Amino acid sequence: MSAHRAGYVAVIGRPNVGKSTLINAVMGRKISIVTAKPQTTRHRILAVHTTPAVQIIFVDTPGLHHKAGKAMNRLMNRAAASAFADADLILFMSDATRWTQEDEAALRRLDSCRAPIIALLNKVDKINPKEKLLEALVQMSERREFAEIVPVSAAKGDNLDKLMAMLPRFLPESPPLFPDDMHTDRSKEFYAAEIIREKLTLLLHQELPYGLTVQIEKYVEAEKNVTINAIIWVERDSQKGMVVGKNGGVLKKVGRAARLDLREQLQCPVHLELWVKVKSNWADNEKDLQSLGYDAP
């Protein structure tokens, strides 16, 4: 009988390449929020996948930013860097349909990494004709030496079974590192804040999603329902008006969408109240970022 294995698998890549979609797909549940906008993932989030033979601890990371202008971008880069420094295995994810300067910069960040690296070519379902996939695989193999190169579609689930079967051999022999029933290291309050931010990001346009964050003031679980009070922090008064919307219309839409999602996830009625407040330049102030729950590795 083979020994139990357990270890950390960091998912690394440029912003908006599909890292959170991959982790949600292999976990079979929503661990990280997903939108089409870059910078959706701002935190280092653990997703714990447990079977009798192996425990794979996926580390979802913010996308590595080539130009880290604000304190929040620098903090996100540090969160990603700390994840791959501690990992037993790295999944380096890129878009099979295009290679960018940001991909190149993210890959260069792994030059000093001692853990084995598997290259994931994501979004292969969008490659047409299929001969182009072989070309993309060859190009990836020329960029550096990888332990494996695996074409996948995180959104469609293509080849994820093959990937999951491959991972245990790269992990050390170890008893489980977390309880069997644990799926993530993040609290319900954190998850509620992320769901609200996801709905804001989906509804709002241009730069505004990057200038707001969500803080849970109250999270109370009763016998038959959950009550959540949350503050949406923005950087300027003009942004507050955009988040609230005409006659409160935007805020009502966000509240309704978040409440429905949370009700489905928590399997009980949710009472949600939202307020919008201004905290000037919070995204470029490390003290503010830490007070709002951002990690500072």
Cβ atoms of residues 113 and 84 within 8 Å: yes
pLDDT of 245 reads 87
Q: Where are the domains of the chain?
A: 5-170, 188-291
Rounded CA gap, 291 and 18, in Å? 28
What is the pLDDT, as a whole number, of residue 14?
Answer: 87
Which is nearest to 286 in space by CA: 76, 135, 85? 76
CA angle 89, 75, 55 (to 5 degrees): 25
Contact 61, 8 (CB under 8 A): no
pLDDT in tens, 249-268: 999 999 999 999 999 988 89
**pLDDT reading at 69 higher than 70:** no
Secondary structure letter of residue 189 according to DSSP: H
Calpha distance 290→293 (Å, rounded): 5
Convert the pLDDT of each residue in 160-179 to its tens digit. 999 999 999 999 999 999 99
Same fold: 5-170 with 188-291: no
Of the given ranges (183-187, 217-221, 284-288), which has the lowest mean pLDDT? Answer: 284-288
- pTM of the predicted model as reported, rounded to 2 decimal places: 0.84
The per-residue pLDDT for 217 is 94
Answer whether CATH 3.40.710.10 is correct for domain 5-170.
no
The pLDDT value given to residue 284: 77
Question: What is the per-residue pLDDT across 26-60, written as a single tens digit (0 to 9) for each?
Answer: 999 888 766 666 666 666 788 999 999 999 999 88
* Alpha-carbon gap, residue 46 to 44, rounded angstroms: 7
- Give pLDDT, residue 285: 73
- Shortest CA distance to 93 belongs to which of 160, 185, 32? 160
CATH of domain 188-291: 3.30.300.20
- What is the identity of the amino acid at 46? L
The rounded distance, in Å, linking the Cα atoms of 64 and 39 is 9
Residue 207 confidence (pLDDT) above 60: no
pLDDT in tens, 85-143: 789 999 999 999 999 999 998 899 898 888 999 999 999 999 988 788 999 999 999 99
As a whole number of angstroms, the distance between CA 186 and CA 44 comes to 10
